[in-house]
Amino acid sequence: MTGPWTDWNHVLKVDPDKDLIDGETFEDVCQTGTDAIEIGGTLDITADKMQRVVDACAEYDVPLYQEPSNPGVVIDDDALDGYLIPTVFNAKDAFWITGAHKEWVRIENGMDWGRTHTEAYIVLNPEASVAQLTDANCDQSADDVASYASVAERMFGQEIVYVEYSGMFGDTEKVQAAHDALDDATLFYGGGIRDYDAAYEMGQHTDVVVVGDLLHDEGVDAVRETVEGARDAMEERAEAEA
Ligand code: 1GP
């Protein structure tokens, strides 16, 4: 179960429904130093909006992944390195566990399995759109989060486990619990990373720090700081473990 994300520290999530700040371009976005760009969002996403971001990033050499929020927005484009297909493990609405996926596997032109990878979400901020949309049960202890991580990795063969706090900085104890539970799968953490210090702190508990809204709210310089924070934390951890 290896993918390029095993070498990543930082992912920038671009929401195709949100604008960049004035004066910034996708060329700037692709030059923040992030390890990969994940294109996805929860609300009002269309294939056209997805395509616009892919087209704008295609000529730069940062890896590009689409994270489709539903089967209708999947785009077929050689510029994409792959698709990260989310499953929300703590959703009460089964559509987000297997319902959407049942539609996905029969999309027009078929699935591109060679480029399709799996992401097991554990959604923990009840205020986030993703929690409300999927009717996620966010009331999970650190032990529960560790259990979900094991279920995802061991029983459902997920390549990535994603602790999602979208919009708020999460509980590092729960993130660490997920990290401790995993052997092979890569842990992504996303939510409320707004500066170097937050990225550095969470970088001590996860494999990959994901940054989203900061790009659309404050721009590429702020994102670059988070790249440095995540990288410094992970380099220190690697040295300590060596
Ligand atoms: C959202 O996990 C990402 O899916 C990032 O969250 O927008 O809070 O950075 P933020």
Query: pLDDT tens digits for 53-94?
Result: 999 999 999 999 999 988 888 888 999 999 999 999 999 999
Q: What is the DSSP string of 197-241?
A: HHHHHHTTT-SEEEE-HHHHHT-HHHHHHHHHHHHHHHHHHHHHH
Is residue 211 lining ligand 1, measured as CB closer than 6 Å? yes
Query: pLDDT tens digits for 182-195?
Result: 999 999 999 999 99
Which residue in the block uniquely carries the two structure tokens 């999602």?
164
Ligand 1 atom closest to the CA of 213, numbered from 1: 7
Instruction: List phi, psi (to 5°) of 136.
Output: -75, 140
Query: Ligand 1 centroid vs 12 CA: distance in angstroms?
Result: 9
Instruction: Provide mean pLDDT across the span 135-157.
Output: 98
Tell me which residue has its CA closest to atom 9 in ligand 1: 212
Q: What is the CATH number of domain 4-241?
A: 3.20.20.390
Which residue in the block uniquely carries the two structure tokens 């990260």?
84
Instruction: List phi, psi (to 5°) of 149.
Output: -60, -40
How many angstroms from the chain centroid is the CA of residue 236? 23
Top mutation candidate among 15, 84, 211, 218 for ligand 1, by most atoms within 8 Å of CB: 211
